[in-house]
């Protein structure tokens, strides 16, 4: 069975400070893991994905995530937040067939 | 630029009405999906299709049906809309060979309100 838990429903940071969005997963398979971003009134866009290559994955807009098997985590980070990063972020686990599980989402607020 | 287009961004319907949500993709993708998005619940899969005329139930198919007569078009049908179907509906597509493990390309969503 697969599951994904986003540990924070809301995260608030100041512009220019680091961003950390936390995600834990559970999977019976060797999973593929994704982060998607959704800006207001828009569809979801892929930020980055892990598919068993390098454990540190770089994505678009300066985001990166590290796959830690021992901790079953796939946290999303960015060194310096920008106002345009304000959005909702979804951690996603996928592992076989068409079974893709979305986390509940983390809304990121960026203060000027 | 790849594109998934959902024809209606906002709809308001009455209880009991039949509702059609249309989705078209221009990427020649084999797989197409309909998700429902509700606050605090993330996205939940309603139905998916991996080929023309093929369809498979997702996690919450009750009250919904789908149609895929052409590769580029995937329709979601609410036979008799109910207030608990008020939600944001997202269509997505992906390449066949990636199955469920590849990148999903999303439309901008259709926000349905059932009164």
Give every CB contact of residue A78 below 8 A, 6+ residues apart in sequence: A18, A19, A61, A62, A63, A64, A85
**Average pLDDT for A27-31:** 77
Band (A29; pLDDT cuts 50, 70, 90):
confident
Helix, strand, coil percentages, rounded to 5, for chain B: 5, 50, 45
Q: Is the pLDDT of residue B31 over 80?
A: yes
The residue of B3, B42, B44, B51 whose CB has the most chain A CBs within 10 angstroms, and thus the best one to mutate to test that interface, is B42
Q: Is the pLDDT of residue B99 over 60?
A: no
pLDDT of residue B2: 66
Q: Is the pLDDT of residue A39 over 60?
A: yes
> Does residue B5 contact residue B23 with C-beta atoms inside 8 Å?
yes
**Average pLDDT for A29-50:** 90
Q: Tokens for A17, please give them.
A: 């400070």
CB contact under 8 A, A43 and B100: no
Chain A residue with the nearest C-alpha to that of B33: A98
CB nearest to B90's CB, from A43, A94, A96? A43
**Average pLDDT for B53-64:** 93
CB contact under 8 A, B50 and A98: yes
Of A32 and B5, the structure prediction assigns the larger pLDDT to: B5
CB nearest to A42's CB, from B50, B56, B108? B108
Q: From residue B63, how far is each of B47, B66, B76 by CA, in Å?
A: 11, 11, 11
Mean pLDDT of chain A: 91
- Is B40 at the interface with chain A, CB within 8 A? yes
Of A41 and A14, the structure prediction assigns the larger pLDDT to: A14
- Is B60 at the interface with chain A, CB within 8 A? no
CB contact under 8 A, B43 and A96: no
Task: Tell me if residue B96 falls in helix, strand or coil.
Answer: helix
């Amino acid at each position: 069975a697969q599951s994904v838990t986003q540990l924070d429903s809301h995260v608030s940071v100041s512009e220019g400070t680091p961003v950390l969005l936390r995600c834990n997963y559970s999977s019976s398979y060797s999973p593929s893991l994704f982060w998607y971003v959704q800006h207001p009134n828009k569809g979801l866009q892929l930020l980055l994905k892990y598919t068993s290559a390098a454990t540190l994955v770089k994505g678009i807009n300066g985001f990166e995530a590290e796959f830690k098997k021992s901790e079953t985590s796939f946290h999303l980070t960015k060194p310096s937040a920008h106002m345009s990063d304000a959005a909702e972020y979804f951690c996603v686990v996928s592992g076989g067939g068409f079974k893709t599980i979305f986390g509940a989402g983390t809304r990121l607020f960026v203060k000027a | 630029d790849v594109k998934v287009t959902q024809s209606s961004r906002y709809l308001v319907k009455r209880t009991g009405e039949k509702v059609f949500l249309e989705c078209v993709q221009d990427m020649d993708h084999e797989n197409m999906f309909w998700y429902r998005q509700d606050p605090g619940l993330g996205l939940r899969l309603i139905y998916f299709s991996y080929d023309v005329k093929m369809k498979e139930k997702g996690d919450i198919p009750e009250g919904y049906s789908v149609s895929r007569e052409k590769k580029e078009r995937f329709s979601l049908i609410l036979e008799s809309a109910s207030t608990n179907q008020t939600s944001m509906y997202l269509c997505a597509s992906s390449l066949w060979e990636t199955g469920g493990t590849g990148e999903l390309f999303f439309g901008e969503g259709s926000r349905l309100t059932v009164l």
